[in-house]
Structure 1
Amino acid sequence: MVLLNGASSSGKTTIARQLLGDFATPWFHMGVDMFGAMRAEERTHQLEPSELREVLRRTRAGFHRAVAGMAQAGNDIVMDHVLSERWRLHDLLIVMQGVDVIFVGVHCSAADLTERERRRHDRVSGTAVGQSAQVHTHGLYDVEVDTSTATVEQCSAQIRKYLRLNPSPTTRAFDRLRDLDAADSAP
């Protein structure tokens, strides 16, 4: 599984689509926005803030488990996510146990995030820049790409090169993060 993590509007979905076209075998793209789109939005807008936070938490936890299920069934997955809350990474470290995860940091300049967000009608201004510091706080990736300085084709090539040169899951960033997370949780 390739897990693309970055702020909203950083280019994760665009990279995922490019990867699917570039891979020689069938892969699935599973994005957090896709799962959010399955929810009845008109009902979501009627919720109190605490109720909405709980619905969003359950949606994201379900998303993690759906992706893990697809991967555990033997499917190759490109997952795109915004790990802007610590619990999301912690939950993924648990549910992706036994899944070979290539962890990709998707970076983008604040100016580009602001401009991309402005052009999109489904985003709240300032959200992406606010997320950009949070999503990368764990600081450990297998591959990092910057969509402000590289084309989507170059980002895809960089990820595929990593996969080609590192086919064995012996020292993946996700496994090291899992070990760190377990050590932090130990009494």
Structure 2
Amino acid sequence: MEHLSSVPPRRGLIIFLNGTSSSGKSSIAAELLRVLDEPYFHMSADMFHAIRSRREFPADRLDEILHRTWMGFHRAVAGMAAAGNNVIVDHVLSSDWRLTDCLALFDPRDVVLVGVRCPLAELERRERERGDRPGGLAARQSKQVHAHGVYDIECDTSRADAVECAQLIRDFLPGRPRPTAFERLRAHR
């Protein structure tokens, strides 16, 4: 068994995909796993919600449970990156506190913030087609999800498919500019 001291220290890169539900983040993440040379982990809030117990909880506890789930998700991502793992984050910054929490936890030099955009009419069509999301979820999220307005790179999934978006992001990584979007956002908060 290898000793921990034989693993060279490094910081992991976080590719942070932010967009509404049904915008195509998970599809882009799956393609990124395929096209990136380094090993990456795809981590999504949906994954964390899926591993929570399935029993019904009182409505007055739901907000607290969801809030703690998101906080745990952020800390799990931060822990993976701090251990030197590269992470693709599939996220919805539909509440300002989520961005604030991530800005406090992640090394801003190691985050590539990707805006995943899609026109509302197309989001609504995708929601109807999926059938597994509450109607109007993307519309409710779209009011806040891009409100911070700063990205390292953006893609529009109504104009480019997941493969094209993943290739665009992959090609952006080697020459990504500084300061990063996370550095600029942290400096303004």
TM-score (norm 1): 0.90
Distance in 2 (CA, whole Å) between partners of 1:94 and 1:41 is: 31
Cα distance in 2, alignment partners of residues 99 and 81 from structure 1: 19
What is the match of residue 66 of structure 1?
Answer: 76
Unaligned runs of 5+ in 2: 1-13
Matched with 2:5 is none
Instruction: State the match for 1:151 in structure 2.
Output: 161
Distance in 2 (CA, whole Å) between partners of 1:72 and 1:24 is 20
Q: Which deviations, in whole Å up to 9, do the C-alpha atoms of 1:66-120 show, x marking residues without a partner?
A: 0000000000100010000000000000011366000000001111111111122
Aligned: 1:86 with 2:96: yes
Could you tell me which amino acid in structure 2 is paired with residue 36 of structure 1?
Answer: H
Aligned residues: 176
Q: Deviations over 1:24-59 (max 9, x none)?
A: 12111001100011111323xx322x3100100000
Secondary structure of 2:37 counterpart? coil
Distance 1:127 1:41 in 2: 21
* Structure 1, gaps ≥5 residues long: 182-187
- SS of the residue 2:123 aligns to: helix
Give the whole-Å Cα distance in 2 for the aligned partners of 1:99 and 1:62: 22
Select which of 112, 122, 128 maps to 1:118: 128
Partner of 2:18: 5
Q: 4+ runs of 1 displaced by more than 2 Å? A: none
Q: Which amino acid aligns with 1:16?
A: A
Q: Percent identity?
A: 50
* Aligned-pair Cα RMSD in Å: 1.2
Match for residue 58 of structure 2 among 41, 47, 54: 47
When you count helix as a share of all residues, which structure comes out higher? 1
Q: d(CA) in 2 for partners of 1:121 and 1:42?
A: 22
CA distance in 2, matches of 1:120, 1:42: 24
Q: Which residue of 2 aligns with 1:184?
A: none
